[in-house]
């Protein structure tokens, strides 16, 4: 099997930031799960109920099942991230057991981190046969700053938004919250077309 040269794991900046916050907050270990896109971008990290010690975090099968049942895209939950607290980053026997327990038809991305901001990333596949790609590069995917401008341009080019206009009541009071619309130049103060100038020209 030819392994892609550029096999790497990408993770949304927001997801990575959450992982570092939880790593800082946890006295020892903790685990979280995340979704993985088809082009291997990890995002949407979420915690689930767990009991952790300084050196272990066991995946509680009941908590895991509960998490997946309430998840909007359970089939996309294919990343397991955990921290080793102050210990080094490596794959322990227990980690190997966790990864085996999360086996699926597509792939599983695993990331282990520690409080020193070290990390290790790997991808495991079980189909067509069992393979582990370890020590993969982990790239942070930053939000695209150009995107807002591009979206604005496209929005303005394609979308016309109608403003609902509520009529003033008989006293001329406008409905609450509605600003007085500026009077167009062709309209006189009673709302009629201002023909004064046109008539003057015609005459
Ligand atoms: Zn571990």
Q: Do 174 and 180 meet the contact criterion of CB atoms below 8 Å apart?
A: yes
Nearest to 76 by CA among 43, 117, 113: 43
Query: 2 CA to middle of ligand 1, Å?
Result: 29
Between the CA of 82 and the centroid of ligand 1 the distance, in Å, is 6
Residues shown for the chain: 203
Residues 99 and 59: their CA atoms lie apart, in Å, by 10
106 Cα to the center of ligand 1, angstroms: 22
Distance (Å, whole) CA 188 – CA 199 = 14
86 CA → ligand 1 middle, Å: 12
In the chain, beta strands by DSSP E: 9-12, 30-36, 41-46, 77-83, 108-113, 119-125, 131-133, 138-141
Domains and CATH numbers, the chain: 9-141 (3.40.140.10)
Query: 3-class SS at 198?
Result: helix
99 CA from centroid of ligand 1 (Å): 10
d(CA 80, CA 58): 12
How does pLDDT run along the chain (203 residues), one tens digit per residue?
Answer: 445 567 999 999 999 999 999 999 998 899 999 999 998 999 999 998 888 766 666 677 888 888 889 999 999 999 999 999 999 999 999 999 999 999 999 999 999 999 999 999 999 999 999 999 999 999 999 888 788 888 889 989 999 888 776 666 666 666 665 555 566 666 666 656 655 555 555 54
Ligand 1 centroid vs 146 CA: distance in angstroms?
38
Q: What is the pTM of this model?
A: 0.70
Phi (first) and psi of residue 141, to 5 degrees: -95, 115
Radius of gyration for the alpha carbons in the chain, expressed in angstroms and rounded: 29
Centroid of ligand 1 to alpha carbon of 41 (angstroms): 21
Helix (H) or strand (E) holding 150: helix 147-158
Alpha carbons 88 and 11: distance in angstroms, whole number: 21
- Helix boundaries (H) for 1-128: 13-25, 61-70, 93-101
How far, in Å, is the centroid of ligand 1 from the Cα of 162? 56
Residue identified by tokens 């599983």 is 108
d(CA 116, CA 89): 10
Kindly give the distance from the C-alpha atom of residue 21 to the centroid of ligand 1, in angstroms, as a whole number. 18
> Across the strands, what pairs with 131?
125
């Amino acid at each position: 099997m030819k392994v892609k040269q550029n096999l790497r794991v990408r993770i949304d900046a927001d997801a990575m930031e959450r992982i570092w916050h939880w790593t800082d907050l946890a006295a020892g270990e903790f685990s979280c799960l995340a979704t993985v896109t088809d082009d291997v971008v990890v995002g949407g990290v979420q915690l689930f109920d767990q009991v952790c010690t300084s050196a272990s975090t066991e995946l509680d099968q009941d908590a895991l099942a509960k998490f997946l049942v309430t998840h909007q895209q359970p089939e996309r939950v294919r990343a397991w991230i955990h921290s080793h607290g102050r210990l080094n980053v490596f794959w322990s026997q227990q980690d190997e057991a966790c990864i085996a327990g999360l086996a699926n038809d597509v792939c599983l991305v695993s990331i282990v981190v520690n409080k020193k901001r070290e990390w290790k990333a790997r991808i495991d596949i079980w189909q067509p046969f069992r393979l582990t790609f370890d020590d993969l590069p982990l790239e942070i995917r930053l939000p695209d700053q150009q995107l807002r401008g591009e979206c604005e341009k496209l929005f303005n080019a394609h979308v016309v938004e109608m403003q609902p206009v509520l009529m003033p009541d008989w006293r001329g009071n406008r409905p609450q919250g509605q600003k007085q619309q500026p009077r167009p130049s062709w309209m006189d103060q009673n709302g009629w077309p201002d023909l004064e100038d046109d008539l003057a020209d015609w005459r």
